Chain A
Amino acid sequence: MQDMVEASSASPDIIPDISPGLIGNLPEIYRRLSRPALHEALRKMQLVRRFEENAEQAYMRGLIHGTMHLSIGQEASAIGVCVALTDRDYITSTHRGHGHCIGKGAEIGRMFAEFFGRETGYCRGRGGSMHIADPSKGNLGANGIVGGGIPIAVGAALSAKRLGTGAVSLSFFGDGASNEGAFHEALNMASIWKLPVIFICENNQYGMSTSTERSMAVKNVADRAASYGMPGVIVDGNRFAEVAAASFDAVERARRGDGPTLIECKTYRIRGHSRSDRNRYRTKEEIESWQERDPIKLFQTELRNYGLIEDSEIASIQTSVEEEIKAGLQFASDSPLPSTMDVTRDVYTSV
């Protein structure tokens, strides 16, 4: 409440279109994060959305090779989680990792450059959409193997603990990934060694075409945490505030040395699994009902209702996003292609 008053008094021209009762209910996270930090989070969510929409268009115009997995509809979990992290914290990501990447501070231009197979891309054009990483920012990489990143995050937490860096490690993965052995083995080790690691399940209801009802014997991925003696928290993954609040709590717990947490973000992927999905396993109505709960719109409306953003600020965020996208695409298409002479470069650390 105190912060809220301060925030409003810093911008006296705001007329919050919200009842005083609602302000009393102002979620803790909106006091914890400064107004500029909240705006930046909204900007990042829009950046993820526009990055993916532009990547999709480039793909359809034949400019991008291979496939890609879009996270449209899941921006709140990616960004809501990453706001709780610092640059020295680690993440491991998934095949659906553009949001995680942007959340962890990646540059749009170098991401597009990777899609375009350029030498300036995050993987020098060797990895493509499914392997973008930015170790300088603690992003240990997306992964083509479902569940592949989960034990790696536990390893990063082990380093952080042994080396005393104070960093935490965080692994994003899907509902489907929680059916892999690697998930279960990793959670167990994280727990017995009390490692500073947070497991973020983005439960978008399907692993490719297979629904969680058809692939899991329990209702929630979070229920699985009990088997490994760690808290399992469920949040509305389309609500930035809920995701961020749970993430801050889990990160603090990890930094205190109290061990791992599993957070399950209930969300939905609006696009098909990959470019070749014909959406035969779900209905149009289901997709539309989730589209109504667009995380960006929800967050924007909530900020507006709490008097934390003005329409003009929303507009300038949109402009800055479009400019960043445009500059990123330009950078990528102007960048050099790798040389085929370098096919075996970087297989080993030294030649």
Chain B
Amino acid sequence: MKKVVFWGTRGSLPVSLNSRDVREKIVAALSAANGKSFRTPEALNDFVNKLPFSIAGTFGGQSSCVEIVHKGPEHVICDMGSGARVMGQDKIARFGVPNPQTYHIFISHLHWDHLMGFPYFQPMYIPGNRIVIHGCHRELEDAIHQQMSNPNFPVDYSQAGARIEFDIMEPGRTVFVAGLNVTPKRQLHSGDSFGYRFESVDRTVVYSTDSEHRLDDLESHRGFVDFFAKADLVIFDAMYSLAEAVSVKADWGHSSNVVGVELCHAASARRLALFHHEPVHDDKQLGRLLTETRRLEQITRGDNPPLEIYSAYDGLIIEL
């Protein structure tokens, strides 16, 4: 595995910056410039590069869609949230039409925010493409059909030009797909969700979203430590604060940055990407969460090797 590309990182519902948010960023950038003038475009770029990400950038608002780039010709993707639209456009731009491609898509679960991008994933309308949808829910095929049928969507599923296949996987059973060993794991979430562990000869990536962790369940804790063991990257549902996740939002099916750090430390993972961001959090809040999570990692590390912390944003590429 070479790298991981995040096309959609937001939880539950796509969001967007509004004009007030953009204005706030402009005001913050101009305040930081403090009347400075820039003689060259390079000088201006340097200045912008030094601004905090919450001012010069944005986490984006597309819902879950993550690509794992391996050496083979086949594409490996986790979930089809609204980020899949952007990914589809990128694939068409890169490979052109006709230029048949194979897409392996692993679906964590059938909630709306993880499937809604599929009807907007352009490669599915192009004959010659092959799309294999992998998942552990028996209703996987029905859910995709339903989403693209009257009155939910104007284009019926039968209009798909690509060849679409379904592969129902078993939790705990490893399959070999596109040059990778893939092992699903059942996670605590309404209607069940499944995490996936992807292994190549020398790299491991775990995609674990929409997953609540019962802190009094030591057996489950150990199960996740094994599932994350020595991973080069763990993509982790960190939607809530720990306090919310164990109190007012207990049983809502999500987890926190604190539990992500604990599990990754216990599993000796190398990198943790906070994922499935709360829609009400703006760039400033997400930036603060990242800073706090890095600090937490530092003060609770003990004898563990350092864990690199990212907060996933739309467009982030992590080289493995």
Q: Decide whether A and B assemble into one complex.
A: no
